[in-house]
Amino acid sequence: MGRFLYFLVILFLARLAWNAFASMLLGQARRQMGSRGAYRPGGSPAEPATPPTIHRGLMVRDPVCGLHIPEHRALTEVRAGERYHFCSDECRQSFLKAS
C-alpha cells in the first residue's frame, strides 16, 4: 500500500508540474497573439495590432477578361461618353486596340 501511495503522490506532482508548464506556454502565446488574435512577432504589448482593412464599394467588370474588381482599384477609360473599367493596363490596351 505504501508504494501505491508513493506512486499516486509522484503522479499528482507530475500532473501539477505539467499544468504549470502548459499554462505558462499558453500565457506566452496569448501575449504574442494580442487582444484581437493577431500574431505580433516579439509579443510587445506596446505595438498595436493592425486591424484588418475592409473595402466596401462597387465591383466593376473588365470588358476584356471579365474579371470583377473593386471600382477604386480599376483603371478607367471613357469612350463615347461611357466609362469602362479595366483590371490591368494590358486589358486596357487590348480594348483600345480593338475599338
For residue 26, give Cα distances in angstroms to 16, 19, 29, 30, 71.
15, 10, 5, 6, 43
Statement: residue 61 has pLDDT above 90 = yes
- CA end-to-end distance (rounded Å), the chain: 96
Kindly list the domain boundaries of the chain, sorted by start residue. Answer: 1-40, 59-98
Statement: residue 65 has pLDDT above 60 = yes
Q: In angstroms, rounded to a whole number, what is the distance separating the alpha carbons of residues 43 and 31?
A: 6
Statement: residue 34 has pLDDT above 90 = no
Q: In angstroms, rounded to a whole number, what is the distance separating the alpha carbons of residues 39 and 57?
A: 29
85 and 68 Cβ atoms separated by less than 8 Å: no
pLDDT digits (tens, 9 = 90+) for 6-33: 999 999 999 998 888 888 877 776 666 6
Statement: residue 44 has pLDDT above 60 = no
Average pLDDT rounded to a whole number, residues 41-54: 59
Statement: residue 45 has pLDDT above 80 = no
